[in-house]
Homo-oligomer: A and B are copies of this chain.
Amino acid sequence: MSEDRPLANTATLNVDLGDRSYPIYIGADLLQQPDLLARHIPGEQAVVISNTTVAPLYAETLRSGLAQFKHVELVVLPDGEQYKSLDTLGTIFDALVDKQCDRQTTLIALGGGVIGDITGFAAASYQRGVPFIQIPTTLLSQVDSSVGGKTGVNHPRAKNMIGAFYQPRCVIADIRTLDTLPERELSAGLAEIIKYGLLWDTDFLDWIEANLSKLRARDETALRHAITRSCAIKADIVNQDEREGGLRALLNLGHTFGHAIEAGMGYGKWLHGEAVGAGMCMAANLSHRLEWISASDLHRVETIVAAAGLPIRSPVELPIETLRNLMNSDKKVQSGRLRLVLMHGLGAALITDKVPENLIMETLRATHAGTASELPEPLQFTDSE
């Protein structure tokens, strides 16, 4: 296959960041096309970093396609958000030093967001920077964490607290790898797809609502469109604001709530996408209390999140006060003020640090599984307006 000919049934997006620009390839069976990957490996040595779940499924296909390289090593990490730690990062460095990897060694992340984030940070830091390629194998990582250059690990008390901005040479999103993805993780990926509709594009939100059952049935065409549109929205935002001066912060819709849920439950208990699902409903609830979205908009948000197979309430095990305290550990806190991304109408997000504390607490109570109404019905307080 020529380097320039467009790939059949494959979408190619370019993330435009000057001399750190890179392509995202989205299509089926891309792992069967090793040239796509090989052209982005500058040296003679590559290390595939994967986990115990994904490596048995795809690592051999990947390595056999790279036979022309001198060394292609494999590092297999344990699977789970709880391993996205400084300790696991240390085991990657141990392996790289053991294999005498030099500055030209390309690190290839093969797995979900955890593998992508930790491998990216390892690539950013090893010898102060080696080439890096992302092969995301979950829906969530295909639409979110493989685009935008955020890499890192968690601190035990705060998510993604330690990391770097570091761009990959390319991203290869092979839709076929989603065939082996558990139902729960597919839903987690849908959370981020819904997020792009909610914060940026109501047409896309309409499309998601109309195609949710196709997406959950893993229809190839529907998935390719959803992933491509999501990556395009994210790339669009990142192009305008690589380092999170302002616009990029909008991508954190639902995340301040979500991160608090994840940290409070212990990493790995709730999937990131599940926490974001509930977090978006919490952001919508608060937006409604501020009279920025209508009761029917709030209802619409809860309905679509629920229809994607995601929680719409914070977990019953997690006391509201704990949740509130954990929100203060979020990176969005600036000079002691909590900054939240909320909706001002569907399809339009904004960031604010001026939300009255009582409304935050009311939202936490109204959206807590222990106290909220179970069903995504218009909530009681809407009557009193």
Contacts and interface: CB of A to CB of B under 8 A. Distances in A.
A121 B89 CA distance: 15
A125 B163 contact: yes
Interface string A247-280: 0000000000000000000000000000000000
A334 B103 contact: yes
A165 B103 CA distance: 14
B164 A103 contact: no
A331 B103 contact: yes
A162 interface: yes
A146 to B, nearest CB: 17
Interface in A57-97: 86, 89-90, 93-94, 97
B161 A44 contact: no
Nearest to A43: B335
A158 interface: yes
Given A328-B100, A334-B104, A128 B93 contact: no
Interface string A126-165: 1111000000000000000000001010010110011111
**Number of copies of this chain that the complex holds:** 2
Contacts of A165: 128-129
A179 interface: no
A310 to B, nearest CB: 27
A306 to B, nearest CB: 33
Contacts of A90: 86
A333 B158 CA distance: 37
A91 to B, nearest CB: 11
A226 interface: no
Contact of A97 (B125, B157, B335, B336): B157
A90 B154 CA distance: 11
A124 interface: yes
A70 to B, nearest CB: 8
Contacts of A129: 164-165, 243
Given A89-B86, A161-B97, A333 B150 contact: no
A377 B89 CA distance: 48
Contact of A125 (B43, B164, B334): B164
A277 B335 CA distance: 46
Q: Of residues A93, A124, A162, A336, which shows the largest number of chain B Cβ atoms within 10 Å of its Cβ? A: A162
Interface of A: 43-45, 86, 89-90, 93-94, 97, 100, 102-104, 121, 124-129, 150, 152, 155, 157-158, 161-165, 243, 328-329, 331, 333-336
Given A86-B86, A97-B157, 10 more contacts: A86-B89, A86-B90, A97-B161, A100-B328, A100-B333, A102-B331, A102-B333, A121-B125, A125-B152, A125-B163
